Amino acid sequence: MMDFTSLPRRNKSYAGANGSKIAVVYNDELYMLKFPGAARLNQEMSYANGCISEYLGSHVFALAGIAVQDTLLGTYRVKGKEKIVVACRDFTGNGLVLQDFTSMKNTVLDSDSNGTGTELEDILEAIEQQHMLDPAVLTRHFWDMFIVDALIGNWDRHNGNWGFLYDPDTDKVQIAPVFDCGSCLFPQADEMIMRAVLEDPAERELRIFERPQSAIRQNGQKLNYFDFISSLKQPDCNAALKRIAPRIQTQDLCALVEGTPFLTKVQRDFYTTMLTERKERILDFSLQKLIKRERRSK
């Protein structure tokens, strides 16, 4: 457990709507400290669990072998009150510029949709038509990210919180590490809600099969993670499922939660249950269904 209060601050500022953010120096590197935002959907909470969600979600991406922003949990004192914060290493060093997918989507001049639109067809079309990166590499990254977001229940992976690093000196672009995972794992669930989910199978199933849904849309409707992945209708999604699901082991998810500081027993039980059951009932179920289908087609 680290106290970040006395770390040197820098004048760099960060955009985003969920909670305050400041730049600090830790171990000679620049980090963004994210503070817990208001729990607007749950008035019983003084603040949301977004910092815990950011930490856990980021580390699940790491378990999947996907480049992700380094995150640390710690505390910070504001007006005498200690708050749990998450430190996110700033990966825009050496003059690199972070560009989100919205900006890349805007470079597709013959597209009728704007950069912020999250219709799946438009996103995939923009990936194919952009000229900054190999479309096959970018498609693979998009679906790998989608599979992990399904596991952690990320409802806010819109076009503005994934993207690329641009080097103005070389005019080269590379995929940025995954960042902004604070909207996963039910950040506005308090301990009363967590207990209800743990005790009631119907509440768990609701949060596995129905909530949350993806920010990606198809025909104007948000994608249901379970329905979409288990349908096996999208070949690139199927390929990502086969790549990613075997990399994430249940024991590693349990160890991640167990090693996360600041959590109460109820929180540990809740996060362990949601991660392991979403893995088993969304990813593993869909993968087994896909393998059976492939065997039958041989």
Instruction: For residue range 177-216, list pLDDT tens digits in order.
Output: 999 999 999 999 999 999 999 999 999 999 999 999 999 9
The confidence band for 36, taking pLDDT boundaries of 50, 70 and 90, is confident
**How far is residue 114's CA from residue 130's CA, in Å, rounded to a whole number?**
14
Residue 5 tokens read as 């209060």
Three-state DSSP at 115 gives coil
pLDDT of residue 297: 85
Mean pLDDT of the chain: 93
Residues sharing a CB contact under 8 Å with residue 43, sequence separation 6 or more, in sequence order = none
Between the alpha carbon of residue 17 and those of residues 4, 14, 36, 270, the distances in Å are 22, 10, 11, 26
- The Cα 221–Cα 213 span in angstroms is 10
pLDDT bracket for residue 80 (50, 70, 90): confident
Cβ–Cβ < 8 Å for 154, 182: no
Domain boundaries, the chain: 2-92+179-297
Question: Does 115 have pLDDT greater than 60?
Answer: yes
Token representation of residue 182: 């604070």
Give the pLDDT confidence score for residue 44 in this predicted structure. Answer: 61
In whole angstroms, what is the distance from residue 123 CA to residue 110 CA?
13
Q: What are phi and psi of 183, to 5 degrees?
A: -100, 25
State yes or no: pLDDT of 263 exceeds 70.
Answer: yes
pLDDT at 238 over 80: yes
**What is the distance between the alpha carbons of residues 117 and 12, in angstroms, rounded to a whole number?**
29
**CATH class held by domain 2-92+179-297:** mainly alpha
User: Average pLDDT in the 223-248 region?
Assistant: 98
Report the percentage of the chain scoring pLDDT > 90: 86
* Pairwise CA distance, residues 253 & 174, whole Å: 29
Q: What is the pLDDT of residue 193?
A: 94
What pLDDT score does 260 carry? 97
**248 pLDDT tier (thresholds 50, 70, 90):** very high
Q: Which residues contact 191 (CB under 8 A, 6 or more apart)?
A: 264, 266, 267
* pLDDT score for 94: 84
Residue 45 has pLDDT above 60, yes or no: no
pLDDT score, position 41 = 65
pLDDT (mean) for 272-298: 96
Q: Which pTM does this prediction carry?
A: 0.95
pLDDT at 112 over 70: no
